[in-house]
A and B are shown apart, each in its own frame.
Chain A
Amino acid sequence: MECKDLREMVVSHSSGDLAGEGRVLVESHLSGCAECSELFSNSNEVWRLLGEWEEIEPGNDYVSEFWSRVEKEEARVGFWSSLWHSGAGWKLAGALASVLVVGIFSLVIFTGDPGGNVVADRDVQDDMLLLELDSATSRDTTAALEIYGPWDGGIDVVNINGNGGFN
């Protein structure tokens, strides 16, 4: 095997992860290869160097700090959270829902239509539509009547509809 094929195994060996044939193979290769021996010692050295990254010591009162943080969090979320966890929250939610339902029913029952005076936009639109329809009908009627001859000036609708104007 060539060095490039053994590099990862050499590092594995330095981690103590090689056993059996692999270990024998790498050890025999290392005894005759300066480059891989250097890699092996560098791998060990890197691990030792990482050990120089010093630890830090936490403060002595971390346990009490933790519990005061828990208390603060509970106080913040506090009232509602404890309400839910105690089961009282469900009762309160039920009571609020009941009040809401009763309120809605009361509104429907006691506040009816105050004399039909409420005019919605839709009502206004309907009225305008009717007016337009009425006006269009009048124009159409006039146009349709043109086939009965030349009309001078305005049309006396009373005559037409009245005393046999078409006779």
Chain B
Amino acid sequence: MESDIELMLRTKSGDDGAFSELMRRHYKGVVNYIYRFTNRRDNSEDLAQEVFLRIYRSAGQYKPEAKFSTWLYKIATNVSLTYVKKKGNNSLSLDEIDDSGDATGNPALDIADDIIYRKEIMGVIFEAMESLPEREKVAILLCKYEGLSYEEVAHVLECTVGAVKAYVHRGRMKLIERLKPYLSEGGDYGV
């Protein structure tokens, strides 16, 4: 399988098929990263397209100096930050959080309760994440959800690996405080 860098170099030489393959590999990750960053399901695909459009436009200047994914998430972070700052108040009410996700498939749970629970927990997690300083939030989102290593996150945030570890640990400690009420039931949330 061709590496991301090889695909990007092919894109640079005018092969649009290579760029389509890059999108297939990373699109879902970028959409979800933006979704968790902005908590806007309706706009996340549009913003993800914007991210890929920026990459496609700058393909001519591409130099394979760093991993493609770090470049990708750096742009995704910038696009998300710009969006959040432009929108000002980006928090959603719980009613606005989409509940059309897949069913859990657990027959022991009442479906209505499950939907209410998921709405609540997603809103609570978003608010807790939103309360973190920007760098702690980005570091946790990239490590936890996008599976980036500390080194890759360090490239995205343009800092040292030690700084990334500190962001993650401090953020995690703050999240413990903010999510305490949801941890007190022994961790069994039934989903």
Contacts and interface: CB of A to CB of B under 8 A. Distances in A.
A65 B140 CA distance: 30
B133 to A, nearest CB: 16
A43 interface: yes
B168 A66 contact: no
Contact of A8 (B44, B121, B173): B173
Most buried by B among A12, A56, A65: A56
Interface string A27-60: 0000000000001011101111111111111110
A142 interface: no
Contacts of A95: none
B169 A15 contact: yes
Contacts of A66: 20, 23, 49, 52-53
Given A49-B189, A62-B27, A69 B53 contact: yes
Interface of B: 16, 20, 23-24, 27-28, 31-32, 35-36, 41, 44-45, 48-49, 52-53, 56, 98, 101-102, 118, 121-122, 125-126, 140, 144-145, 165, 168-170, 172-173, 175-176, 179-180, 182-183, 187, 189, 191
Given A59-B45, A66-B23, A66-B52, A47 B144 contact: yes
Secondary structure type dominating chain B contacts: helix
Contacts, number: 102
Secondary structure type dominating chain A contacts: helix
A58 B45 contact: yes
Contact of B35 (A56, A59, A73): A56
A26 interface: no
Contacts of A166: none
A33 B164 CA distance: 28
B33 to A, nearest CB: 10
Contacts of B24: 63
B28 A11 contact: no
Contact of B53 (A7, A8, A39, A70): A70
Given A54-B118, A58-B28, A46 B191 contact: no
A53 B173 contact: no
Given A49-B125, A69-B53, A56 B169 contact: no
Contacts of A69: 49, 53
Interface in A5-29: 7-8, 11-12, 14-15, 17
A51 B35 CA distance: 14
A67 interface: yes
A154 to B, nearest CB: 84
A66 B145 CA distance: 24
A39 B32 contact: no
B183 A42 contact: yes
Contact of B16 (A7, A41, A55, A67): A67
A44 B170 CA distance: 14
Given A12-B165, A15-B169, A56-B101, A46 B45 contact: no
